[in-house]
A = this chain, B = another copy of it.
Amino acid sequence: MTYRAPVSDIRFALDEIAAMDGLKASGAFPEMSGDLTTAILEEAAKFANEVLAPLNRSGDMEGCTLEDGKVTTPKGFCDAYAKYVEGGWQGLQFPAEAGGMGLPRVLGMAVMEMMQSANMAFSLGPMLTNSAIEALLVNGTDEQKSLYLPRIITGEWSSTMQLTEPQAGSDVGLLKSKAEPNGDGSWSISGQKIFITWGEHDCAENIIHPVLARTPDAPEGTKGISLFLIPKYLPDENGNPGERNAIHAIGLEHKMGIHGSPTCVMEMDKAKGWLIGPEMGGMAAMFIMMNSARLAVGVQGVGIAERAYQHALAYAQERRQGRAPDAEGPAPHAIIEHPDVRRMLATMKAKIEAARAICYLCAVSADEAEHEESEEDRAFSRRREEFLTPIAKAWSTDVGVEVSSLGIQVHGGMGFIEETGAAQHYRDARIAPIYEGTNGIQAIDLVGRKLGLHGGKAFEEILEDIQRTVEDCSTSSNPELPELAKRLKPAARAMKDAADWLTSREDRTDALTGATAFQTLAGDVIGGWLLCIGAVAAQRRLKEGEGDTDFAESRIEIARYFAETVLTAVPGQLDSIRLGYERLPDDLALGIN
């Protein structure tokens, strides 16, 4: 099953939901135009469809190998990577003055979505390189920027993110890697890191590792952590890869999925590195990488879901079984004609569109937060970005798992056979709710921090915007739209009630007990809201006779299906969120003696 990038869907989300065009007014993207967007999306689609997608299954089967410290990636990956570099894709969303294309991050996310759909294992590498570029742009010294950025932004040199150690996962403050000053501004870093994605590979001539470590006498916990830049090869006087640094892959993990992505155990033995940002400023620097990566992982959830959907949709049209109640022609009918199969596909499609909308809105908010003219507007957008990030990450990756599971179900027995390929999506998708902060960590961030941030302003603003969409739908001349409003309004009300309860509890454990359930509800409501915005835009297009009528109508149908099956169930989740810690079963009830 081949992948075809859903360019129209993506474009609609960019134009009508994320309203990317609004970025032009800032003057920050002088190159930006509708034609350029078209050209970029089409070119990216071609790269994803023709270069990356064909390597997805072979990459899964071959996996990566480690021998004598060298990691070999699956056949074809390095050629594809060379094409990635040649296309300049790594620099898409970075400033022209740093060597990038100077285009918005939201467009970068659209391209990233296609790449993740096409080949999640491959695209993880470039995804993490993006994060390292962010970190250097914000916290790098001028020297670091001039020495490293040009080669990283082209993709010639790739990058990683080295945080985790065996005892320090979600609790990064427990890390033990140590940095000793060399006296010349450089540091000697020693320690072991695990779960390092693309930590070592054969596709780029150098690998730049941002690594968290502890300086001498640093306090315990997260306060004592600093971020270091450790190149695999130390740049020589011409900036070319020189001496080999003491950072090596000593193991590869045997994972359930993303086999084409080398997940390394890395050992540093007095590796030479330099601070990125101030000493003990590692957590702040890490969160710059992390926030970028969180959104990108959300996009990965969208990408893998879309791939699984296309796979299942094709199978459902082709596979013939049984007599479908309303189908034409002699049985057996294509299984898509069976209501239950069609409904599975509808759920997949609607959730993908909702997750895409959330991720793109989050991305455009990040662009706006950086570039809008007034400080007020920038602050508004920053609040929105911050609020949406955990939801984009968690809800979209949950959708990735749910949709890839439905994709298997649509395939029936064939879905369980590896040759079919549906199983790979299911295996690949399962990592995304875990890495870059588990979805439980996202929920703690959302409920513990984001809900109350700036006096709860970000959340209030979203509620106000939802109210506006409710009004837009209610007053539409298309009778379907007031129906949407009827679903959206009580769902938003339930979200507010849930948030009020969570933020008003004296005991923090109560809020933490309902956090994940609230995060799911918030994704349901915000996803549904954004699909309603899409429906309003589609109705405008229909009225103005603009563009493809069928396509516009389909936006309304998808929003309606989501509203009638997801939004309607939202108020019923309230009690489960307002549970309280005391109502959780105790150790004995869990079977611990």
Contact = CB atoms under 8 A, between A and B. Distances in A.
Interface string A543-576: 0000000110110011011001110111111111
Given A170-B322, A517-B565, A564-B583, 16 more contacts: A254-B419, A255-B423, A313-B591, A336-B590, A340-B440, A342-B584, A344-B516, A409-B439, A416-B431, A551-B588, A554-B589, A557-B589, A565-B575, A569-B573, A570-B572, A572-B573
Contacts of A508: 325
Contact of A409 (B169, B332, B426, B433): B433
Contacts of A570: 572
Nearest to A317: B592
Contacts of A576: 564-566, 568-569
Given A349-B589, A427-B427, A569-B569, A515 B340 contact: yes
A257 B585 contact: no
Contacts of A169: 321, 412-413
A6 interface: yes
A25 interface: no
A520 to B, nearest CB: 11
A224 interface: no
Contacts of A586: 554, 557
A417 B257 CA distance: 9
A342 B167 CA distance: 20
Contact of A443 (B6, B340, B408): B340
A339 B516 CA distance: 10
* A: contact size bracket: 35 or more
Contacts of A584: 339, 342-343, 346, 561
Contacts of A174: 321, 332
A405 interface: yes
Contacts of A566: 576
Given A571-B572, A572-B568, A405 B430 contact: yes
Contacts of A339: 509, 512-513, 515, 581, 584
Given A418-B255, A443-B340, A572-B568, A170 B585 contact: no
Contacts of A565: 517, 575-576, 579
Contacts of A344: 440, 516
Given A349-B585, A412-B434, A592 B313 contact: yes
Contacts of A470: none
A256 interface: yes
Contact of A256 (B253, B340, B401, B427): B427
Nearest to A331: B171
A357 to B, nearest CB: 16
A558 B588 CA distance: 10
A462 B571 CA distance: 27
A435 B415 CA distance: 11
A343 B516 contact: yes
Given A343-B513, A560-B583, A590-B313, A416 B430 contact: yes
B557 A585 contact: yes
A341 interface: yes
Contacts of A435: 413
Contact of A568 (B401, B415, B575, B592): B575
Nearest to A566: B576
Q: Which of A338, A509, A560, A585 has most B Cβ within 10 Å?
A: A585
Interface pairs A-B: 6 shortest CB-CB: A572-B572, A568-B575, A554-B589, A171-B321, A256-B423, A557-B589
Contacts of A440: 338, 340-341, 344, 409
A573 to B, nearest CB: 6
A509 B588 contact: no
A525 to B, nearest CB: 13
Contacts of A575: 564-565, 568-569
A503 interface: no
A431 B409 CA distance: 9
A244 B332 CA distance: 37
Nearest to A333: B171
Given A346-B584, A572-B571, A412 B431 contact: no
A153 interface: no
A325 to B, nearest CB: 5
Interface in A153-176: 164, 167-171, 174
A143 interface: no
Contacts of A419: 254
A340 B440 CA distance: 6
Contacts of A254: 417-419
Interface in A520-552: 550-551
A326 interface: yes
A572 B512 CA distance: 24
A262 to B, nearest CB: 14
A345 interface: yes
A486 to B, nearest CB: 10
14 contacts: A170-B322, A174-B321, A256-B416, A326-B581, A338-B512, A339-B584, A340-B444, A340-B512, A340-B516, A342-B584, A349-B590, A413-B435, A554-B589, A565-B579
